[in-house]
Structure 1
Amino acid sequence: MPGYKVHIGGSIFAGILVLLILVNIGMYVVDPQQVVVLLILSVLGALFPDIDTDSKGKRLYYSAMLLLSLALIYFEEFRWAAYLGVLAMLPGVSAHRGWTHTWWAMLVVPMPMLILPYYVYGQGFPTLLPYYVAFVTGYFSHLLLDREF
């Protein structure tokens, strides 16, 4: 079973590959700042399936969640910090290689990135879709490397 370094590398490779394909077919225009955010989301997606076990990936994932929560609190985005906190707790209620290692979780877990901004701020799905796709891409790379397909 691959470790967190392999999953991080796989997610970066998969994320760059998907971005290149989307740029090549004209569905994405490169914005360097957004590319960094998308690659970070891809890495977080790749680490997510293993956060139900004591691992280096879990510590990296929750460290990133803590920094993001603190940033949201600093910018007085308390509603988003609360949503993030609830979502970050979900893996703690399952066994390792439980629901976090399923294809449907790969699609459902990042769904709040589409739904919450739409309902809270009225942002359109096309604006939010790259972030969802980035997380799913990283998640997919994890499942692929773990030979779950």
Structure 2
Amino acid sequence: MPGYKGHITGSVVAGALVLVGLVQIGLYVIDPEQVVSLFVICVLGALFPDIDTDSKGKRIFYSAMLIMSLSLIYLEKFKWAAYLGVLAMLPGVSAHRGWTHTWWAMLLVPMPMLILPYYIYGQPFPLLLPYYVAFVVGYFSHLMLDGEF
């Protein structure tokens, strides 16, 4: 099983393959700022399954969560900071290689990225879908590299 570096590399490769494929078939037009965000989310998706252990990946993941939470608080988006905090705590209530290493968690964990903005702010799903897909692709790369499929 790869460590955090292997999972980061795997997520970047998987994300790049999906991005190139979507561009080739005309489903995505490259926006450089969004691409950076999508790759960060893809990497976070790849690190998420192992944040229930004491690891470098866990420290990277939670450092990113802290930066995002502080940014949301600074921007006075307290609801979003609270949602992010609750979601970040979920893996702490399970054993390693428990629910975080399942195909259904890969699909359900990032679901709040679609549901919350839609119901709270009325954001349309097509605007939110790239972020959901990026997290799922990263998560998938982690499970694939761990031999879960």
Alignment of 1:39-118 (within 5 A): 39-118=39-118
| 1:79-111 CA-partner distances (Å, limit 9, x unpaired) | 000000000000000000000000000000000
The aligned residue for residue 38 of structure 1 is 38
Letter in 2 for 1:67: I
Letter in 2 for 1:20: V
Cα distance in 1, alignment partners of residues 142 and 113 from structure 2: 19
Structure 1 residue 43 displacement after superposition: 0.1
SS in 1 for 2:29: coil
Structure 1 residue 74 displacement after superposition: 0.3
Cα distance in 1, alignment partners of residues 7 and 57 from structure 2: 9
Q: Give the % identical residues.
A: 79
Cα distance in 1, alignment partners of residues 100 and 33 from structure 2: 29
Letter in 2 for 1:25: I
What are structure 1's unaligned runs of at least 5 residues? none
Cα distance in 2, alignment partners of residues 121 and 24 from structure 1: 32
Structure 2 length normalisation: TM-score?
A: 1.00
Cα distance in 1, alignment partners of residues 32 and 147 from structure 2: 32
Letter in 2 for 1:142: H
Cα distance in 1, alignment partners of residues 77 and 19 from structure 2: 29
Cα distance in 2, alignment partners of residues 49 and 105 from structure 1: 9
Letter in 2 for 1:87: L
SS in 2 for 1:110: coil
The aligned residue for residue 123 of structure 1 is 123
Letter in 1 for 2:95: A
Cα distance in 2, alignment partners of residues 56 and 8 from structure 1: 11
RMSD over aligned CA atoms reads 0.3
